[in-house]
Structure 1
């Protein structure tokens, strides 16, 4: 009779197996799975890890429910400051109680003293992962995501909690109630809780956050409030709609100096081929103002973003994915005045009445047009021309399309000084407006002189050598030396 081999404790990283009773791997110090915490949560597999903690897929042994468990790394669990920050992260997420913020349900310690907390299991992907694949999101998809991020942060701010690390990696997208891009904001590990400010967990002048999204007051180690999160959401909006952050230097310190001193380039100027509306440029530039008082509130930013989208997307703000690669602004027609003397009938007319009403309206319109023409032109002898014989329109030949792709993708394609789009791009072969020039930052431009009748054109762009970075002036080096490192 065959018997199943008992499950041996296994390292989640190197897959080494150990005898019963061994808890951690001797090679890399990782927890051996399966592991049971406080007799309730069985750790099943590794989901992800960061600088402070490791996240595991787990199961509540009593309820049979799948959850996620974040465990503070062993060496940090012996530091009182890191332990308190970890506890505050769990407290912050659990106290806000908003549908767009990850729900934390339990907090405890392992048998060996490491702190852990239990949160809902999110089956989806981070916004950062989506951006690495899509590069740029159309306005129709980006706005509903950003609106949910704003609502989550508004709820946090109402509780006196400042996130301080808003970025694409901390926005999870899951499917919820038929909505494919339901937002969950995660990782309140460096959040600021105003009602616990007396604990002084952050050193004066310490730099907390991620360089691409940090407000100038965060960079300088100054006082931080909800407007720092507004700045981060402005930077996130910029990245979603252009594919690049507003500032990005050779290293983190160079990027932070740009947040302090450089003038932000409006998104529409960074990517003119995307046709982003001018109102969006103004809104994002305000959110990225150097002075906190010049930025809109989080609620105001969300409201203006929703209003902007409703004016530039068919049917108002949509929550489904856009079917076109980029939104096309809708031209607004001039307002039409309606005579107050015309009152619509209250009762629905019969079908016959509708037919007569339409016919009468057409006749009235013809009479009005005739009167206008008689006023504009002098009287002349009426001439009746014989109706020409109907002309049979030939069936148009099928349109031939040519696909232009590049390696790497995302190159701008232009012809005769006009931007046609970014690769991969389909063109109508009837357009003989070559040569077609492909350009991409950091690569030598390439030119295609002739397109085939149909099919696919593949272009490999040559990467240029990195430019030599001049040594910064002594004044900037002094500023860098004055910046204190992030203790977390």
Structure 2
């Protein structure tokens, strides 16, 4: 069954990410449903709140006097079968999950005017959006306890093949039980049934449609791609980020701006956003692991996420796999100008900024005076003819053709033409534009405060991660493999595509104590300098023996003399 919602719109355009304002006290007198008796059992007493698809009322069971909450589909949707089925599917989905962390559904039916409704347990408390707005950042132990409860409830839903797809603080309700936080998950209105043939209901969604609240949407949801239960893991990572810092990881002014950030931007580190919140390093790693863009790099189940949360106090942190961020779509090339006399240059492919744009248009008018000098001799015998032509490249072909010229009236006595005016000096040739320097990108490698040298594929040092400006790399689409080297840390490799400015988070694991000590010892040893052997004493040269007198001519030189 298809959906009547546009592909680029959320299913609930009025979805709120903060606690809705309290209803007007006068609304009880003006709401026509107050006092209605539904199914002969439930009496509506007052309005609790209203959302995008319906309103929630406090009601009382007529026989046992038990308080319940009843959600009624809005009248404008009552005659739309698809939305009515979606509304009732929320009741079926929640009723199919037998877990204390999911709101309990008691009954469902229709009002006298045909609006669907369902009856659920009445909860006295507040949603997490109100807690975050009032108290965040929360201490780590409290945030961990809340997050673990959400994970357990969603794992129970996933075990039944139900993906919530709209997890946010407004859909997590907090109860105070003897000073302890008890959390229940609400609102399965846009839940995705991964196994619709198992009797829970019919799947009403399809690939290519966008559902959820933009602040908490996974990248695959934002792109309208096929997705599974791991979108809930991403959303819980956003909720945990907000519990620990008081802010969502991404903020934008528009719906599409938020989606773009989820798809293309790396999330900030929680400890950078809230440096005074005393967030454990292992807890930060859990949040960033849940927020990885690639679903295969996140925690794969809610139980895995809950186990990682429980292991934080032992100092155990999950591994965050470095992943290259996707390049944002090109927004057009900057405009550049050349002189009109410069020869045209070939343009580069559309994926890069053109090296040289189209030249200037020529001036509107240009007078051709070259004919005057050429006609000077013929004018003495036959008359004078002066031609003026116009050139306007922006006009149509008819306008740029030759113009009619009025003949010059000849006088009885022809006077010689004045000498032609000297031609204006030709403008100097336009200097050829130098080629643009190759484009570069700035890459910042975040190593959580560990200063590390960055080496390229050939071992050359490119820079250091402590540089706040990052590394300047040539822009390209080919994957680069960089190495990180820091004292006392295991060497790490980073694979990235330098297609745009980006930040990559890398964890440098400390070396085992033995290897670290060995490395320091080896570094501290200086190469021994062997002393050069002392030169042996030079023996005095023997005195030359007197040579016998030569028997040959004295002009010949003896070969034995030195």
Q: Does the TM-score normalized on the shorter chain lie above 0.5?
A: yes
1:184 and 2:184 are equivalent in the alignment: yes
Q: Distance in 1 between matches of 2:152 and 2:173?
A: 14
Matched residues in 2 for 1:232 and 1:309: separation? 23
| Offset of residue 32 of structure 1 | 3.2
Paired residue for 1:100? 101
Aligned equivalent of 2:303: 299
- Offset, 1:37: 0.5
1:112-151 equivalences in 2 (<5 Å): 112-151=113-152
| Residue in 2 that maps onto 1:171 | 172
Q: What are the Cα deviations for residues 346-395 of structure 1, in whole angstroms up to 9, with x where unaligned? A: xxxxxxxxxxxxxxxxxxxxxxxxxxxxxxxxxxxxxxxxxxxxxxxxxx
Deviation, structure 1 residue 87: 1.1
- Is the CA contact 1:140–1:309 (under 8 Å) kept in the aligned structure 2? no
CA distance in 2, matches of 1:175, 1:13: 25
Aligned to 1:419: none
Q: Which runs of 5+ in 2 are unaligned?
A: 1-22, 317-562
Shift of 1:36: 0.7
Q: Report the Cα distance in structure 2 between the residues aligned to 1:143 and 1:311, rounded to whole angstroms.
A: 14
Asked if the contact 2:75/2:115 (under 8 Å) is kept, the reply is yes
RMSD: 1.9
TM-score calculated relative to the size of structure 2: 0.50
Return closer, same or farther for 1:311/1:204 CA change in 2, 3 Å cut-off: closer
Q: Note if 1:211 corresponds to 2:217.
A: no
1:309 paired residue number: 313
Shift of 1:12: 8.0
Following superposition, the deviation at residue 252 of structure 1 comes to 1.7
> What are the Cα deviations for residues 242-283 of structure 1, in whole angstroms up to 9, with x where unaligned?
111111111221011000000111111222222312212221
SS, match of residue 133 in structure 1? helix
Distance 1:16 1:275 in 2: 45
Change (3 A) 1:219 1:16: closer
Map Cα deviations across residues 167-207 of structure 1 (whole Å, 9 max, x no partner): 0011001134x353101100000001112279452243111
- State the partner residue of 1:277: 280
Q: CA deviation at 1:105?
A: 0.8
Give a deviation string over 1:100-135, Cα, whole Å, max 9, x none. 100001010001100000000001111101111113
- Between Structure 1 and Structure 2, whose CA radius of gyration is higher? 2
Matches within 5 A, 1:11-30: 14-15=26-27, 30=31
For residues 46-65 of structure 1, the aligned pairs below 5 Å read 46-65=47-66
1:12 and 1:46 in contact (8 A); partners too? no
Matches within 5 A, 1:461-472: none
CA distance in 2, matches of 1:219, 1:145: 26
Q: Is the 8 A contact 1:69 1:119 kept in 2?
A: yes
Q: Could you give the per-residue CA deviations for residues 211-233 of structure 1, whole angstroms, max 9, x where no partner exists? A: 11100111011112110000000
Deviation at 1:14, TM superposition (A): 4.8
Is the Cα–Cα contact under 8 Å of residues 139 and 309 in structure 1 kept in the other structure?
no
Inter-partner Cα distance in structure 1 for 2:306 and 2:159? 15
Distance in 2 separating the partners of 1:186 and 1:15: 24
Q: How many correspondences in the alignment? A: 290
2:467 matched residue in structure 1? none
- Aligned partners of 1:218 and 1:234: how far apart in 2? 15
| Highest RCO, 1 vs 2 (Cα 8 Å, sep ≥ 6) | 1
1:292-337 deviations in Å (ceiling 9; x for gaps): 111012111110101113559xxxxxxxxxxxxxxxxxxxxxxxxx
What is aligned with 2:83? 82
Within 5 Å, give how 1:363-374 maps onto structure 2: none
Q: Does 2:252 align with 1:249?
A: yes
Please say if residues 85 and 190 of structure 1, whose CA atoms lie closer than 8 Å, have aligned partners that are also in contact: yes
- 1:110-169: CA deviation from partner (whole Å, max 9, x where unpaired): 011000000000011111011111131111211111100000000000000000011001
SS in 2 for 1:107: strand
Alpha-carbon distance in 2 for matches of 1:140, 1:285: 18
Secondary structure of 1:274's counterpart equals coil
| In 1, Cα distance between equivalents of 2:102 and 2:278 | 32
Q: Does 1:290 align with 2:293?
A: yes
8 Å CA contact 2:219, 2:263 repeated in 1: yes
Matched residues in 1 for 2:219 and 2:176: separation? 35
